[in-house]
Amino acid sequence: MKKILVTGGAGFLGSHLCERLLNDGHDVLCVDNFFTGSKQNVAHLLSNPCFELMRHDVTFPLYVEVDQIYNLACPASPIHYQFDPVQTTKTAVHGAINMLGLAKRLKARILQASTSEVYGDPEVHPQPEPYWGKVNPIGIRSCYDEGKRCAETLFFDYWRQHQLEIKVMRIFNTYGPRMHPNDGRVVSNFIVQALKGDSITIYGDGSQTRSFCYVNDLIDGMIKLMDSPADFTGPVNIGNPCEFTMLELAECVLSLIGGKSKIVFMPLPADDPKQRQPDISLAKQVLNWEPKIPLQEGLRSTITYFESVL
């Protein structure tokens, strides 16, 4: 049994990670400031004596004793991270500094939940880890993109300067139960709109692509990375390489839900990437990981969740 800290532990990914770590027999400290996380996401874990929930903002130092740290704290959808962009950057950068300082003091292994957004609007397709990306440093998405890029810089500087055991994971589009209904992400948008019988809004002409990884597959990859040999730092892409256009996703959601929703097209937001597809060769080779759950199967579980929420 390890004592494991999960920052952002009451969020979409964090709550699934906490649940999985408890099932694997660990003691879990879940830390969240509940800006986008929710107590409801972890309410079913509160009766477990190995689970502890703490309200805390990672932009302030945290003094606890743990063996491993998963740093997931940061709003991850454009609606939420653009609501207070200064705080988003602080969460990404100050949060990384505080968690790295804690890991250094404890000599604990630490994993950073980075993002495919570090690749920006990519000129290389699919995106391999050595690609440096094409990011606008002063756009409306920059608080998140550059915050996560700076966090990666800090992780690797702590690794070089202090020999800290780090793991950096670049997460591609992930979906599943416990997504926030109003997070503005395409999967939750389409499902909620279809369930309500509203028009399904596609931004742009629907030809832009994303690759969707079901949350259980993502958590498998995260834990495999944390448990990988000490000399493997990453960064490593974790996501599903099966690529879909926005129009294909909308049609898939409509076919599963039914109803009379129509598809309408809206202008594309600034700096929205045209393509997003991970090259997962490294994850296959080093972690023996690849996603197993196909899109339709994952969407069914996600639709069932949103039906209960709505």
Q: Which residues are tagged catalytic?
A: 144
Question: Is the backbone peptide bond immediately before 278 cis, with ω within 30 degrees of 0?
Answer: no
Name the maximum alpha-carbon separation found in the chain. Answer: 59
Rounded Cα distance between 110 and 168, Å, is 9
Closest residue by Cα to residue 6 from 40, 22, 29:
29
Question: Is the backbone peptide bond immediately before 126 cis, with ω within 30 degrees of 0?
Answer: yes
Residue showing tokens 């949060």: 95
Burial 192-216 (b: 16+ CB within 10 A, else e): bbbbeeeebebebebebbbbbbbbb
Containing 298, the helix (H) or strand (E) segment is helix 295-309
| Backbone φ, ψ for residue 200 (5° rounding) | -90, 120
Containing 247, the helix (H) or strand (E) segment is helix 246-257
Report the first-to-last Cα separation within the chain, whole angstroms: 38
